Chain A
Amino acid sequence: MSKVRVLVGTRKGAFVLTSDGKREEWDVSGPHFGGWEIYHIKGSPADPNRLYASQCSGWFGQQVQRSDDGGGIWTPVGNKFVYDGIPGTHQWYDGTAHPWEFKRVWHFEPSLTDPDTVYAGVEDAALFRSSDGGQNWQELAGLRGHGSGPRWQPGAGGMCLHTVILDPTDPQRIFIAISAAGAFRTDDGGQTWQPINKGLYSQYIPDPTAEVGHCVHHVAMHRARPGVLFMQKHWDVMRSDNAGESWQEVSGNLPTDFGFVIDVHAHEPETIYVVPIKSDSEHFPPDAKLRVYRSKTGGNEWEPLTKGLPQSNCYVNVLRDAMAVDSLDECGVYFGTTGGQVYASANAGDSWTPIVRDLPAVLSVEVQTLA
Chain B
Amino acid sequence: MIQVVLPAHLRTLARVDGDVKLEVQGEATQRSVLDALETKYPMLQGAIRDHVTQQRRPYIRFFACSEDLSHQSPDAPLPDQVVAGTEPFFIVGAIAGG
- A residues near B (Cβ < 8 Å) are 35-36, 57-63, 76, 79-80, 82
Contacts and interface: CB of A to CB of B under 8 A. Distances in A.
A175 B97 CA distance: 35
Interface string B9-34: 11001000000000000000000000
6 contacts: A59-B59, A59-B93, A60-B9, A60-B13, A61-B57, A82-B51
Contacts of A36: 9
A59 B46 contact: no
Number of chain B interface residues as a range: 10 to 19
Given A76-B13, A80-B51, A82-B52, A60 B43 contact: no
Contacts of B48: 60
Given A36-B9, A61-B50, A63-B47, 13 more contacts: A35-B9, A57-B9, A59-B57, A59-B93, A60-B9, A60-B10, A60-B57, A62-B46, A63-B43, A76-B13, A76-B43, A79-B45, A79-B46
Contacts of A82: 51-52
Contacts of A79: 45-47, 51
Nearest to A80: B51
Nearest to A34: B12
Contacts of B96: 58
A337 B6 CA distance: 34
Given A79-B45, A80-B46, A59 B52 contact: no
Q: Across the A-B interface, give the 9 residue pairs with the lowest CB-CB distance, nearest first.
A: A76-B43, A60-B47, A59-B59, A59-B93, A80-B51, A79-B46, A61-B46, A61-B47, A58-B97
